[in-house]
Amino acid sequence: MKLQDALRRAQSQGLDLVEVAPNANPPVCRIVDFGKYRYEVAKQEKDKRQSTSKLKELKFRVNCAEHDYMTKIRRGEQFLDKGNKLKIQLQFRGREMAHKDLGEAVMRRVKEDLSGMAVVEMEAKQVGKSINMTLSPLPANKRKRRFSLAEHDTEDIEDDSNEVHEDDAE
């Protein structure tokens, strides 16, 4: 379409003619509201800038109870699902240092449980009285959650609805 025809059409609709791809042959233009177009472009740029990931941290102990472990793993999945990096720290206290093999086993288990969501960026290594490991999230289309929050939330809600509270009984 000729430039003059495109300008006339844009003016008749009360919109603007915006050059979208100036390097194309011929250049590509769109008839849009220029203010709305600038807003959309700014919004896309802002989304790109927000993609920088934060570093979240999970702390474990050697003798961590199963329920506590699963709660932390689910929380770790949430962090990774949002695109954040995850630092896993296993803290030793007192005589627990004599059982480094137990700490390494916990770290292997964490690595295995989060393998569907992340890849190991820094392998587990001991620094002082702790073992540290860093995980980076997989691309969004390759992430697969193993420990969903929805299953546990619905169970808690159903259990609460069947309970009779002392205040209600009176």
Give the pLDDT score at 155: 46
169 within some domain = no
Give the pLDDT score at 158: 44
We report the CATH number of the domain holding residue 103 as: 3.30.110.10
Give the pLDDT score at 51: 58
Low-confidence ranges of the chain (pLDDT < 70): 50-53, 149-170
Which residues are bridge partners to 87 per DSSP? 57, 134
Alpha-carbon gap, residue 100 to 96, rounded angstroms: 7
* Digit-coded pLDDT (tens) for 2-22: 888 988 998 999 988 888 888
Give the pLDDT score at 162: 44
We report the CATH number of the domain holding residue 14 as: 3.10.20.80
Same domain, 79 and 129: yes
82 within some domain = yes
69 Cα distance to chain centroid: 20
Number of domains in the chain: 2
Same domain, 63 and 136: yes
* Residues with Cβ within 8 Å of residue 59, at least 6 apart in sequence: 89, 90, 91
Same domain, 86 and 121: yes
Alpha-carbon gap, residue 33 to 42, rounded angstroms: 14
Count the neighbouring beta carbons within 10 Å of the beta carbon of residue 133: 21
CB 96 within 8 A of CB 126: no
Same domain, 124 and 145: yes
166 within some domain = no
Q: What is the pTM of this model?
A: 0.58
Same domain, 134 and 80: yes
Same domain, 41 and 73: no
Type of residue found at 10: A
Same domain, 105 and 134: yes
Alpha-carbon gap, residue 150 to 141, rounded angstroms: 20
Q: Helix or strand or coil: residue 53?
A: coil
Whole domain around residue 45: which residue ranges? 3-49
